[in-house]
Amino acid sequence: MDDTARDPVPQAVTAGEYVALLRDVRRCSGLTYREISRRASAAGHWLPPSTLATMLGRTTLPRERTVVALLAAFDTSAAEVERWVQLRRDLEARAGERDRQPSHPAGTAVELSTVGDPAPSAPSRRGVLGPSRRWLRLAVLAVLGVLTVGASGALRPGHTDAADGSPTDGCPAVLQQGMYGPCVLDLQERLVAGGLNVPVDGWFGTDTAGRVMAFQALDGLPVSGTVDGRVLDKLSDGTRVPAAWPEERIGTYLREVFPEDPVGAVQVARCLSGLDPYRVEVVADGARRWGLFQFDDTELSRLGVDRPTALDPGWNIRAARDVWSRTGGFDHWQCDSGR
């Protein structure tokens, strides 16, 4: 077998594909960002978790020294590191050649993506593609992110390299609802790894915002629904929320607590939260509602409990029972249709 066939480094034709390959290397390692940082430091390289998160969350070529530091953390051989570095240099050279090409005259069609990139498509809300197709999705996100950068700022530069203070192209300092792109995709993957299921589609919608608020509440962070470096660092630490009750256990407990109307209890809880104990929603007036029976902030304050307590399914069901006992039914909750 020749050297090319033995080459363990997959090929890429765009910067986005190159970063996607690095993301796959990190994912296959099973290591958190902080663990990678410590291993890189032990190998004589400087790679803080925030820099690593920025590098893997963007679609532009990372710095050569950062790539080397990441690979060193995995005890990559010198020959393999050289192949990764050479691939990066080749991509950088191609990008330089494209930049030097004359601009297209008016009226000439211009390709939005480089060779090998897929055409842009609308955001998908159906979850994760297979590992072999991840480069394709990230390339799509890169194109869409460029097209929507003016509106959302999802791909604008926002981080600073703490080592030398120089700016790096990458994710914004704060991720928030309405953004779309690889930076949000990375956030969603971290939320899932932390025990909060959410569609991994690169879109920061209401589902992602709710999961962010649940994570912030359970970890004792300010509940803003936006994501800054502090939240990312917590997620990078491998922090996991307590395991959520499965739907079967929730149904069983509801029937035990509401023996007079077990079917009604399950139906109301399903309508309000989809039987999701970590569901958090923001309603039109800005109030937030928590857990299975969606108690809002005002109710929690009156009951003297905090938000993590509200996300505990046992407490939430028992509190709903108290309301049911006082009011004589489920009229306290308004829900037009099941989820």
User: Where are the domains positioned within the chain?
Assistant: 247-327
pTM: 0.55
Q: What is the pLDDT along the chain (339 residues), one digit of tens a residue?
A: 444 444 555 688 898 889 889 988 888 888 887 788 888 878 878 777 777 887 887 888 898 888 988 998 998 888 888 889 899 998 988 887 776 766 555 444 444 333 334 444 444 444 444 444 555 555 555 544 444 444 344 333 344 333 333 333 468 999 999 999 999 999 999 999 999 999 999 999 999 999 999 999 999 999 999 999 999 989 888 789 999 999 999 999 999 999 999 999 999 999 999 999 999 999 878 889 999 999 999 999 999 999 999 999 999 999 999 999 999 999 999 886 544
Distances (CA, A) of 187 to 45, 161, 208, 335: 25, 20, 9, 31
End-to-end CA distance of the chain: 56
Using alpha carbons only, give the angle 57, 131, 129 rounded to the nearest 5 degrees. Answer: 85
Q: Give the helix ranges, DSSP H, for the chain.
A: 3-6, 15-29, 33-42, 49-56, 64-73, 78-100, 134-147, 149-152, 182-193, 206-218, 229-236, 247-257, 262-273, 297-303, 307-310, 313-327
